Amino acid sequence: MNLSFFDQFASPQLLGIPLILLSMLFPALLLPSPGNRWVTNRFSTLQSWFLQLITKQLMMPLNKSGHKWALTLSSLMTLLLLINLLGLLPYTFTPTTQLSMNMALAFPLWLATLLTGLRNQPSISLGHLLPEGTPTPLIPALILIETTSLLIRPLALGVRLTANLTAGHLLIQLISTATLALLPILPSISILTATILLLLTILEVAVAMIQAYVFVLLLSLYLQENI
C-alpha cells in the first residue's frame, strides 16, 4: 500500500521508452505560435501581459548587465510554472518531482552565474567567501563554511522544488484515499475530508506557482552577486 503512493512519481514509459521528455515538452504546445500580427487574440494578449509581468519581477533586482538573462529566466519560469500546474491534473505526471531533472536545471544555471562572476569580476566574486572585518583566527573556518554554502546552492534549489511538490502530491493522494475510504462508513467525516482536500488543492496551486517563482528568483539573486 505504501509503495502505491509513490507510483505517481515513477516516470511513465511506452514500450520501455521513458516519456519524461514528452512531459517536459508538452507545456510548450499550450503556448500560441507567433503569427504575422503582434496580437492575434485575447489569449496571446494575456500571454504577453503575463510574460511582461514575469520579466519585470525577475529583472527588478538585476542591473542592466543582467538584463541579457531576461529571455533565459523568463522561459525557465514559464516552463516550471506550466509543468507544476499541469502536474496537478488527474492522471498526469509531474517531471519537477524528479530530483534528477531539477538538478539538471539548477546546476548548469548556477554554474553559469558563478563562471560569469569569476570572468567579469574575479576579486569581488572571491571576496564573498570572506566577510570584511573577519578576525584572523577565523579566516580558514569562514572560507570553508562560505565555500560549502556556495557549493550546495544548486542542491538546495533542486531539493527545495522536489520536496515541496512531492509533499503536496502525497498529501493530496493520502487525503483523497481517506475520503473514498470513509465515504461508505462515515459520510459526514468524508465530506469534511473532501473539504480539506479542496482547500489543499487550492494551496497546492499556490505552492506550484510560488515554487517556480522562488526557483528562478534565487537564480536571479545568485546572478546579481556575480555581475
**Given its phi and psi angles, is residue 89 left (phi above 0), alpha (psi -120 to 50 degrees) or beta?**
beta
Q: What is the pLDDT of residue 5?
A: 63
CA angle (175 as vertex; 172, 180 as ends), nearest 5:
120
Can you tell me the distance from the alpha carbon of 9 to that of 99, in angstroms, rounded to the nearest whole number?
11
- Taking residues 173-185, what's their average pLDDT? 86
**Given its phi and psi angles, is residue 15 left (phi above 0), alpha (psi -120 to 50 degrees) or beta?**
left
pLDDT per position as a tens digit, 11-50: 666 666 666 667 677 777 766 666 666 666 777 777 778 8
Can you tell me the distance from the alpha carbon of 62 to that of 34, in angstroms, rounded to the nearest whole number?
28
Residue 79 has pLDDT above 90, yes or no: no
Task: Return the higher-pLDDT residue of 127 and 219.
Answer: 219
pLDDT per position as a tens digit, 134-165: 777 877 888 888 888 888 999 999 999 999 99
Q: What is the pLDDT of residue 155?
A: 92
pLDDT per position as a tens digit, 45-70: 777 788 888 888 888 878 887 788 88
- Taking residues 116-130, what's their average pLDDT? 79
Q: How far is CA 190 from CA 146, 166, 196, in A?
A: 51, 24, 10
